[in-house]
Copies of this chain bind each other. A is one copy, B any other.
Amino acid sequence: MSDHIVSSYDTDLQNLRRSIAEMGGIGEKMMADAANALVRRDATLAQSVIAADSRLDGLQREIEERAILLIAKRQPMAVDLRETISAIRVSGDLERIGDLAKNIAKRVVAISDQPQPQKVVVGVQHMSELVQEQLKDVLDAYATQDVTVALDVWARDGGIDALYTSLFRELLTYMMEDPRNISFCTHLLFCAKNVERIGDHTTNIAETIHYLVTGETLPTDRPKNDRSSFATVAPQPEA
């Protein structure tokens, strides 16, 4: 293989990495903005999150096409093949993260005129900050191919799932206390669920980093602490 071909191949991989980094930056910003819009009831900021999503969708399609072309044209082996596959996977996760942030933003618009017990927003905000940290760490780990940091993100997701389950119960309780909270808290429940799912995508990225660096696939049965699907809250006895 001539140097020319090798260097052009390296350029292709570099470009993939750059596009993933761009997607990561947009995804992080969308998530942070969506969370801030929720806390501040800022419908304008929420609209900007909704508008940002199409760029992420476009980048994902582009990365997927370029990666497939790369595999077909250059037949990469070993770590180069894994990096190309990883680019496809990570761009898919980042695209979904954008969708979820956009959905939070849409709900911010819906509830901006509803009475909002600030106390319950704080729980979602706290969860969201943890997930933003996860996303930042996993994107850094991807850029530096650091499997230790990736595994740390992977392990920490259990804490976020547990937080979500307790938030789920808390929100049900608020709804039972006062029916005026129901519309707002329902949207907040879906926001919290979206944040939890963004957390799941960060662990997917962590799994991809592990595969990229080691060539091994992590077990699928990561212990999940999201018990919210099984959670119910008994209504208070009539006053």
Contacts and interface: CB of A to CB of B under 8 A. Distances in A.
A233 interface: yes
Number of copies: 2
A220 B189 CA distance: 28
B103 A229 contact: yes
Interface stretch (A27-35, A68-76, A125-133): A68-76
A18 B233 CA distance: 45
B92 A68 contact: no
Contacts of A223: none
A19 interface: no
Contacts of A220: 54, 57
Contact of A61 (B81, B107, B217): B217
A187 interface: yes
Contacts of A13: none
A186 B232 CA distance: 9
Given A72-B75, A75-B75, A229-B110, A182 B57 contact: no
A180 interface: yes
B110 A231 contact: yes
Contact of A72 (B76, B111, B176, B180): B76
B190 A179 contact: no
A121 interface: no
Given A72-B76, A176-B182, A182-B182, A114 B190 contact: no
Given A106-B229, A106-B230, A229-B106, A235 B72 contact: no
A175 interface: yes
Contacts of A48: none
A54 B220 CA distance: 9
Interface string A172-191: 10011001101110110110
A162 interface: no
Given A110-B230, A172-B186, 8 more contacts: A71-B72, A110-B231, A110-B232, A111-B232, A175-B179, A182-B233, A183-B232, A190-B193
9 contacts: A61-B217, A71-B72, A72-B77, A73-B75, A110-B229, A110-B230, A110-B231, A110-B232, A114-B232
